[in-house]
């Protein structure tokens, strides 16, 4: 399995600088695609990875997605200033469920405009959606110009499933990427997600997956 499929992820609230530094070292050792951290650590990780080909990934609107659009835009601006190459943004799930599709699409589009050359992944938090809502969420992300749709934050009632990844890939086709994240703990888990259509996998267990192969 290609190590470049993986975002080496550390998002728990009590992550220390020492832990984040270790994740950077591990990502370099295994040649993962990125290190994914909370915004507080974006500049720190940028400094740790400077001069390497690894990406810095951070999150915005995390983990609930119900910040104002202006707040999400400002989070993206700061993340880019701090050196983010990739941003994972939580969609406003409440707005989607209220069928405020123009609002959801416009919010994603406005963050896309700020990101310019920075990759934007939209987290749809699939465990909270019906299959029809998942399809609509993915289509709105495509229409708004996002680079990826992502299954989960890992902080809600469920994580990635093969069925969700398959559904998301079916909706977006080859237009954009699909990231599976949340509850992926083993090599077998990761392989199932990739076979279902994931082009990126986010997990904190990345080293375990690779060291046991």
Which positions are annotated as active-site residues? 88, 150, 179
Three-state helix/strand/coil letters over 85-149: CEEEEECCHHHHHCCCHHHHHHHHHHHHHHHCCCEEEEECCHHHCCHHHHHHHHHHHHHHCCCEE
CA 60/CA 67 separation, integer angstroms: 9
CA 136/CA 131 separation, integer angstroms: 9
CA 123/CA 24 separation, integer angstroms: 23
Listed in sequence order, the DSSP H helices in 4-85 are: 17-30, 42-49, 69-81
CA 181/CA 176 separation, integer angstroms: 16
**Cα separation of the two ends of the chain:** 9
CA 90/CA 122 separation, integer angstroms: 6
Rounded to the nearest 5°, which phi and psi values hold at 178? Answer: -125, 125
């Amino acid at each position: 399995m290609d190590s470049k499929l993986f975002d080496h992820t550390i998002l728990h609230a009590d992550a220390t600088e020492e832990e984040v530094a270790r994740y950077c070292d591990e990502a370099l050792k295994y040649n993962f695609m990125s290190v994914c951290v909370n915004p507080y650590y974006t500049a720190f990780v940028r400094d740790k990875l400077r001069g390497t080909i690894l990406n810095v990934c951070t999150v915005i609107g995390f983990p609930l997605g119900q910040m104002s659009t202006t707040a999400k835009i400002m989070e993206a601006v700061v993340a880019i200033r701090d050196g983010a190459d990739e941003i994972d943004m939580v969609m406003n799930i409440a707005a989607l469920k209220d069928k405020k599709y123009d609002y959801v699409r416009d919010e994603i589009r406005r963050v896309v405009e700020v990101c310019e050359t920075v990759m934007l992944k939209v987290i749809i938090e699939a465990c909270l959606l019906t299959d029809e809502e998942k399809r609509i969420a993915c289509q709105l992300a495509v229409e708004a110009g996002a680079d990826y749709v992502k299954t989960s934050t890992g902080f809600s009632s469920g994580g990635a499933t093969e069925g969700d990844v398959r559904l998301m890939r079916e909706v977006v086709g080859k237009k954009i990427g699909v990231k599976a994240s949340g509850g992926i703990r083993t090599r077998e888990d990761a392989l199932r997600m990739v076979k279902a259509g994931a082009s990126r996998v986010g997990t904190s267990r990345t080293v375990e997956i690779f060291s046991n192969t």
